[in-house]
Amino acid sequence: MEPIAAIATAPAPSAIGVIRLSGEGAAALAGRVFSPAAGRPLDKCPPRTMHYGTMSDRRRRTVDRGMAVWFPAGHSYTGEESAELYCHGSPVAMGEVLSALLEAGARQAGPGEFTRRAFLNGRMDLTSAEAVMDLIDAETAEAARLAASQSSGALGRTARAVYDDLLDLSARFSAVVDYPDEDLEDVRPDEIRRTLDGAEETLSTLLSSVGRGAVMRSGVPTALIGRPNAGKSSLLNALAGTERVIVTARPGTTRDTVEEPVRLGDVTLRLIDTAGIRDAEEEAERLGVERSRRAAAQAELAILVIDGSATWSSEDEQALRAASAAKRLLVVRSKADLPQDAGVAERFPQAICVSAKTGRGIEDIERAVGGLFPSPEAAFTLTNQRQQDAVRRASNAVQRARQALELTPDAALTDVEEAMAALGELLGRTPKEDIVEQVFARFCVGK
């Protein structure tokens, strides 16, 4: 394919900038701009090793001094002959080097085109290509680890195993039907059933991860819920390690939701401090309370903050009902540095005792959150709607095949092939052009 070139690092001053090329003759083309200090042309230097030299602009004037490396076809990210130039991260210098490469015969690469070529050349499947973008967009350390595992093909290997089992079943059954005169052993119904059962189990496991990947990518939406002056804002400040929100002794200080990302162990919480739950009279506070209820209903996790030093009240009851609307609930008794109310302690014996003043209980919250959101296994985690739709269609087809098997084995074949088609779309083995465009369009955002 024709050589393409692009600046691979961010367009801002930095210590190092990288310019990447890929395509037929990439090393020789890079050698028209980069002159190794050893005196040999770059494409005559050993591949996959760094070489020091000078970089020139279109008029052969020295722009910078740096390093270069080239990779033969079949041994690069894209699968094509490739080269990379490493210079100082001056946007002006990198622009001059890139212009020289374009004048020498390269074409400006489009957003995501290197990864697209890697996909087209069989270096990765569509799930791995999506993981590259997930890694670039990762907002949490957990998201980065998940994306790194999936970019190496973890999810793809799981889906391919199911695909290959169904393909083997379909091929053997078709051979028996198409060549009745050959001495071929029939595929037994119990063998078909075992294959379908295994496929259904794996697909069900994948579907059970729906939503988990998205949560790990961007953080867990977490609402701090409680009555006024229960200690919600103080807890947020303690978890964040900074005075993020104003705290006073006067109840009702928080009138609107305040969001702050907080890292607890391997999990990032998008903490939302909310207005205290009570029957408010002022319109501003009443609107804040309504937002608090909505935040709880939409949250993956609600942390119910109860003032452990005060008696249980009707406002606490309202807060408990609001917090219970979240998908998961964690109960915290605040102000553990003060004498505790026996009734509250007896009502919530498993609650975590916390003191925002002394820091007591913060590590207990971290452990509890880690238990609620364990690290997902990359091989069994779906991270976007496209993957979910494909796996769900494959699972439904396998279920229909199992039901059809009760009639005749050949009745299940159509459903098996439909499941294979869905998994083929997931992996990009039988890609529809619009699906491929959908995946690579993500690289264009913000470019």
Is 276 annotated to bind a ligand? Reply is yes
The CA-based angle 167-173-179, given to 5 degrees, is 125
- 433 CB burial (10 A radius; 0-12, 13-18, 19+): exposed
Give whole-number Cα distances, 250 to 19, 94, 176, 185, 381, in Å: 58, 57, 80, 82, 45
250 is in an annotated binding site: yes
Alpha-carbon distances, residue 394 vs 26, 153, 205, 422 (angstroms): 41, 19, 13, 5
How are strands ordered across the β-sheet holding 301-307?
258-264, 267-273, 220-225, 301-307, 328-334, 352-353
Q: Tell whether 243 is in a known binding site.
A: no
Ligand-binding annotation for 248, yes or no, is yes
Look at phi and psi of residue 406 and say left if phi exceeds 0, alpha if psi is from -120 to 50, else beta. Answer: alpha
Is position 342 annotated in a ligand binding site? no
Read out DSSP for 53-76? EEEE-TTS-EEEEEEEEEE-TTSS
Residue 447 labeled ligand binder:
yes
Residue 249, annotated as binding a ligand: yes
Q: Is 106 annotated as a binding residue?
A: no
Instruction: Please tell me whether residue 383 adopts helix, strand or coil conformation.
Output: coil
Task: Please indicate if the annotation marks 357 as binding a ligand.
Answer: no
What crossing angle do the helices spanning 283-298 and 314-323 adopt, rounded to 10°?
40
DSSP lists the bridge partners of residue 264 as 267
The answer to whether 273 is annotated as binding is yes
User: Does 327 appear as a known binding residue?
Assistant: no
434 assigned ligand-binding residue: no
Q: Is 68 annotated as a binding residue?
A: no
**What is the per-residue burial (b if ≥16 Cβ within 10 Å, else e) of 340-372?**
bbeebeeebeebbbbbbeeeebbeebbebbeee
Residue 96 marked as a ligand binder: no
Q: Is 84 annotated as a binding residue?
A: yes
Residue 123 assigned to a binding site: yes
User: Was 20 annotated as part of a binding site?
Assistant: yes
Q: Nearest 10 degrees: CA dihedral of 323, 326, 328, 334?
A: -20
Which residues are CB-contacts of 385 (< 8 A; sequence separation ≥ 6)? none
Known binding positions:
20, 84, 123, 229-234, 248-254, 273-276, 447
Known binding positions for (6S)-5-formyl-5,6,7,8-tetrahydrofolate:
20, 84, 123, 447
Known binding positions for Mg(2+):
233, 254
Known binding positions for GTP:
229-234, 248-254, 273-276
